[in-house]
Every structure is written in C-alpha cells, then in structure tokens.
Amino acid sequence: MLRAIFRGAARTEDLVFYLTELHHHDDGQKVLVLWDHLPGHHGAETYFSEHHRDWFEFEYFPTHSPELNPVEQCWNRMKNEYLPNFVPTTDEELVSAVYAAAMKINDEKKIYSYFNTAGIVP
C-alpha cells in the first residue's frame, strides 16, 4: 500500500512527488484522481497535464459541497466515532491512530457507502 503523510497542507510539489510514486507503484496504468479544489491539487494537475498527460485523469468534487465528497464523509466518521476526544502527544501517535481508524472503515467496507451517498458508484 502506498501512503504518505504531509505536515500541514499538501503543496503542489508534495502531490507531484506522491502521484509520481503512485504512477510507478501501479505499473504505469492510467489512474483517475478525484479531489477537491485545494490549490496544490490544481498545480499538480497542471504539472501532469504539461509533462505526463497519459498518467492521470483528474476530476474535482463540487465546491462547498462536503456531502458530495466521500473523503469528507470518511474524515467525519473517523473524527467523531473512532477518534473523539483523542489528543496525541506525538506526530507518530497521530499518524498511527488515523491509520488505524482508516483501516477500521476499510475493514467494515464503509467506504462504498460514502461513494454511494455522494452519487458516485465505485
């Protein structure tokens, strides 16, 4: 599994690095990337459109519509059900707890319901 944790908001350079690694990890298959309108997302799309057009296809969730963004639904569940009142003492503790919560959601197959709620059928 390929994963990355960035301190603060992910910047264009971070996303270009991660998506390049993802491309090589997935044996060069074209990947659909769904994301919101973070400035770094647009910058990364511009980079790949100019340098590696055949690596990714980019789609964006509607602005100001968290109910249509499966990632927002997933984060909401993680924060409210698996990590309520959680106060980590180190970065590593935070990363470990968030990863464990994400794995619980994945194990429960709940991620599909977030896509269904958003009207996206995986």
Q: What count of Cα atoms within 13 Å lies in the side-chain half-sphere of residue 59?
A: 7
Helix (H, G, I), strand (E, B) or coil at 113: helix
C-alpha Rg value of the chain to the nearest Å? 16
Q: What pLDDT does 37 receive?
A: 84
What gap in Å lies between CA 20 and CA 43, rounded to an integer?
A: 14
Q: What pLDDT does 41 receive?
A: 92
Q: What pLDDT does 27 receive?
A: 80
Among 35, 7, 33, 9, CA closest to 20? 33
- Listed as ranges, residues in the chain with pLDDT below 50 are none
Domain boundaries in the chain? Answer: 1-60, 62-122
**Single-letter code of the amino acid located at 112:** Y
Number of Cβ within 10 Å of residue 54's Cβ equals 9
Q: What pLDDT does 1 receive?
A: 62
**58 contacts 33 by C-beta, under 8 angstroms:** yes
